[in-house]
Amino acid sequence: MSIWGELISWYEGNKRDLPWRNTTDAYIIWLSEIILQQTRVEQGMPYFYRFAEKYPTVTHFAAAPEDDILKLWQGLGYYSRGRNMLKTAQLVQQLYGGQFPTSYEQLIKLKGIGEYTAAAISSFSANEVRAVVDGNVYRVLARYFGIDEPINSPKGKKIFQQLADEVMDKQRPALHNQAMMEFGAMLCKPKNPACGICPVHLGCAAFKTNATTYLPVKLKTVKIRKRYFNYLLIMDGEMLLMNKRGESDIWANMYDLPLIETEALIEPAQLFQRHNVKEILGSNMAIKDTSEVIKHVLTHQHLFIQFIILEGQPENLQPNWFYTALDNLENLAMPQRIFIFIKKFFNF
């Protein structure tokens, strides 16, 4: 018995009775697996029943208009799943005469079927020895073996797939895969796992070291914010109007030029139509020139910077604005982009 024997016993005693678990019909299993991609069982269940009733075989499915599929899919999200299903159903109809394939190699070629789904269908319908690795399996393996390799890096994915293959109960692939996933969904949950009643907690690395909260490790996908910086270049005689930055944003406490940030790229002329800008600058300023838009890439933000050269004096200086002599510019700490522009502009 593999180390997961306990798990399979637990599964057999505690599994939910789900409709797609009582069949080896690859079409029905495919239907359920696609619906359950990125989707909770409770949410997918009613959809599964509707699809299975309306399209009892892949031949029925293949004959459906796309509009009907999408209508039935409505509310499930990730609508490309529905569109891909139709393509796959039609292909299965053509290539295999409506006999849904059960081998991993055939399945993986179909639209909307990736490694996970191919492993699931082939193991459930034909007991092919293919270890499924879904979100549940990542979690169970990371915790049980105490692996802190990120599960969403290419390297991590490879490691976890290999491990899953290695520890798989090869005598009963379908049962093993079901057990792993059910266990992850019911006991080894993302938050507050039920270690107290876990059948394998004694062998679990994360349980022993109290690390379930930290495993699995997932790389944060830093979402990049786009920001649009409109810098104003304003002179008073030989003095340049500068801005001292606050401490809550990038370039904290450094110096740059008076800045008007917008949610999108904007023409300087448009910018000056804005109520809040008018209020600060008044009506005595004219646009003399505008620089190219410079893209400045930071880890978590992309800045689109343009410099607007103005003539005249603003009516209201903001609290952090001040005039300084040009020969003092060398002494002020500025972001490199700003410094380069100013240096070039004043030719020093």
The b/e string for 20-31 (b: 16+ C-beta within 10 A; e otherwise) is beeeebbbbbbb
Minimum gap (Å) between residue 216 Cβ and DNA: 8
Minimum gap (Å) between residue 271 Cβ and DNA: 25
Residue selected from 43, 127, 291, 313 as contacting DNA according to rule CB under 7 A: 43
Are the C-beta atoms of 241 and 329 separated by less than 8 Å?
Answer: no
Residue 212 interacts with DNA (CB under 7 A): yes or no: no
CA distance 321 to 318: 5
Residue 154 interacts with DNA (CB under 7 A): yes or no: yes
Instruction: Output the CA angle 191-17-113, nearest 5 degrees.
Output: 75
- For the segment 257-286, give every residue that binds DNA (CB under 7 A): none
Nearer to DNA, 206 or 233 (CB): 206
Minimum gap (Å) between residue 3 Cβ and DNA: 22
Tokens of 40: 């909770």
Nearer to DNA, 25 or 33 (CB): 33
Which of 115, 116, 65 has the alpha carbon at shortest distance from 86?
65
Active-site amino acid positions: 33
Which of 323, 335, 182 has the alpha carbon at shortest distance from 251?
335
Residue selected from 39, 59, 103, 313 as contacting DNA according to rule CB under 7 A: 39
Nearer to DNA, 146 or 150 (CB): 150
Nearer to DNA, 219 or 340 (CB): 219
Residue 301 interacts with DNA (CB under 7 A): yes or no: no
H/E run at residue 260? strand 259-262
Minimum gap (Å) between residue 316 Cβ and DNA: 30
Total binding residues toward DNA, as defined by CB under 7 A: 35
Handedness of CA 25, 27, 32, 34 (dihedral sign): positive
- For the segment 73-92, give every residue that binds DNA (CB under 7 A): 75-80, 84
**Per-residue contact track with DNA, 167 to 196, x per CB under 7 A?**
-----------------------xxx----
CA distance 25 to 229: 58
Minimum gap (Å) between residue 157 Cβ and DNA: 9
CA distance 129 to 108: 15
Helices (H), the chain: 5-14, 26-36, 41-54, 58-62, 66-73, 80-96, 104-107, 115-126, 135-145, 154-167, 173-186, 205-208, 268-271, 275-281, 336-346
Minimum gap (Å) between residue 49 Cβ and DNA: 16
Using CB under 7 A, which of the segments 56-64, 70-78, 291-299, 323-331 binds DNA? 70-78
- The interaxial angle of helices 173-186 and 5-14, nearest 10 deg, is 70
Residue selected from 2, 23, 37, 301 as contacting DNA according to rule CB under 7 A: 37
Are the C-beta atoms of 173 and 128 separated by less than 8 Å?
Answer: yes
Minimum gap (Å) between residue 101 Cβ and DNA: 14
**Per-residue contact track with DNA, 97 to 136, x per CB under 7 A?**
-------------xxxxxxxxx---------------xxx
| Whole-Å CA distances, 244 to 285, 300, 319, 334, 344 | 22, 22, 9, 9, 21
Residues in contact with DNA by the rule CB under 7 A:
36-40, 42-43, 75-80, 84, 110-118, 134-136, 138-139, 154, 190-192, 218, 221, 224
